[in-house]
Amino acid sequence: MNNPFPKLLSSQVAFDMAQTLLQGFMRHYSIFRDAGRLAKAAFENQDWHGIRQLLRDRITFYDQRVLETARHLEEEFDAPALSDEIWQQVKLHYIGLLSNLHQPELAETFFNSVTTRILASKYFNNKFIFVRPTISTEYLENDEAPSKPSYRAYYPGDIGGLQAVLKSLVTSFDLKNSFENLDRDLELTTKLIKQSLLNTTSSTDFQIHALSTLFFRNKTAYIMGRIINGEKISPLALALMHNPKGELIIDGILLSEVDLRLIFSFTHSYFLVDMEVPSAYVTFMRSLLPHKPRAELYNMVGLQKHGKNLFYRDFQHHLMHSTDQFRIAPGIRGLVMLVFDLPSYPYVFKLIKDYFPPPKETSRDQIMAKYQLVKQHDRVGRMADSLEFSNVAFPLNRFTPELLAELEEHCASLLEFSGGKGPDAELVIKHLYIERRMTPLNIRLQEDSPAEIEDGVIQYGEAIKNLIAANIFPGDLLYKNFGVTRYGRVAFYDYDEIEYLTDCEIREVPAPRNEDDEMASEPWYRIGPKDIFPETYKTFLLGNDQIRDLLLKHHADLFQPAMWQSYKNRLLAGEIPDFIEYDQSLRLRNIFPDNYR
């Protein structure tokens, strides 16, 4: 690169560019926070379509701001033509501007996104990006507004006991809706909290902490808190919903890490949250979910670009401290995607193949559009989140010969080799998706105990019904396209054939006109590209006697067109169902049914 500026002027140019970068980030984060604030208003107004729109729009906000900032730098400063020296100065000035920022880690990620776009540099070797954080977020707090800390502490001993504390906590969010019966809900919540503490030693240091803003998703607003009992910390999450009259209720209470894991699963959409200091929120949630990577927590509060950045750092660290080899992932190989994994790492790497054999009729662009649809759609706890990467370098000597042969046969256009054949040789993959590893459902249905197999079949049917209720037709319903998470939840992960259910035509199989029709090996009737024939699913889902009996016992309606049509009709009428994201056993009305009659 050239340096068209004198030395003194170069320093000013670098400073101005750093300010432009920071202004671009500040605009992004302001719009991000607006989404969290608007979610509160939408929840109060029961504008569920509005909440879904906020979720969709927010996914695209970041890339829009990156593009805007990159264009500004290119047009104002001719940024791509500047020398390495100026770019190094830009980074140094930028670091100086972050010292009083409440989101420095996000600003560093934004800097990386803009500079890699401008310089067209590969993500893994750009010497101008922030490879490691330069500004500590430890104990970072909103010091400009000490009356609005990231979380508040409540002391039951000081203000009239646990129930009084809970009332103060719940009403502190200033929701404009009235409660159906807040005293009843608080009394039952207090009872459950006390029961959860029966086997613990009571401490004089007993506190309740709660984050200062609500977490919104679907029709639920969550209060995220924790119970401090001496040295023991346990979750306290309250799920607020509306009753049919529009009044608020405390619908569920989550008091264990296991309960909390489910609503923070990678199979759910991200929360809408207004945060001044996001690192403080992530640190708070990490105290309740200590086994959850920080990358995934950033994802779950809607900061998926920074989560992706942290994931990549974690991945590089893991590679440095492991020796096992990448291999072809276990399971039935797909026609569209090539999947590989690293046994010691709980993720899979998915590449779109160069060629799709019949009967697949699709393209790379169409498949990428399907993945983007899933990213922006409500995943209702039944579709795996994916991280999309470009130009990722892997050490070549970590690939098994079998995997390399498969990659070169099916994905040659995505591969680039560098470094010769020595120890520093690398395989650069130009585009891939990374997802949490799950056990394929077909393997679980073959190997598990009878009780686990039945649970798998029940969840398989529930997953399909959850998806179509969210307007997602999975397309290929084979068991191999579903996986089981670490916590036993069934989720869908093969997206190349998904469609909106409302775009599909649900049909009954016509009666055969004659004996030739009845004996034909191919359908004798017209089939449109988006036609659904639920009756035909029996052919490939009921081959195993044990699975057939269980599926017909629990989900016989999967093969009935009327069931599918009823979901489509409700969607076309604008209905959004209540998706209860936590276990039904955690709902107050199910724990204390006599109190809700």
Residue numbers annotated as active site: 385
Residue 471 tokens, joined: 């307007």
Residue 191 tokens, joined: 């009872």
Three-state DSSP class for residue 584:
helix
Dist. CA 340–CA 217, nearest whole Å: 32
**Phi-psi label, residue 348: left if phi above 0, alpha if psi -120 to 50, beta otherwise:** beta
Dist. CA 22–CA 114, nearest whole Å: 11
Query: Strand 215-217 to strand 347-352: parallel, antiparallel, or no bridges (unpaired)?
Result: unpaired
596: Cβ contacts below 8 Å, ≥ 6 apart: 588, 589
> What CA–CA distances, in Å, run from 106 to 32, 101, 103, 202?
12, 10, 5, 40
Three-state DSSP class for residue 210:
strand
Dist. CA 258–CA 485, nearest whole Å: 13
175 CB-side CA count, 13 A: 30
Angle formed at CA 50 by CA 238 and CA 260, multiple of 5 degrees: 25
φ/ψ of residue 171, rounded to 5 = -80, -10
28: Cβ contacts below 8 Å, ≥ 6 apart: 61, 62, 65, 66, 110
Q: E-strand spans in 443-508?
A: 472-473, 482-484, 490-492, 499-500, 505-506
* Angle, in degrees to the nearest 10, between helices 48-77 and 364-376: 120
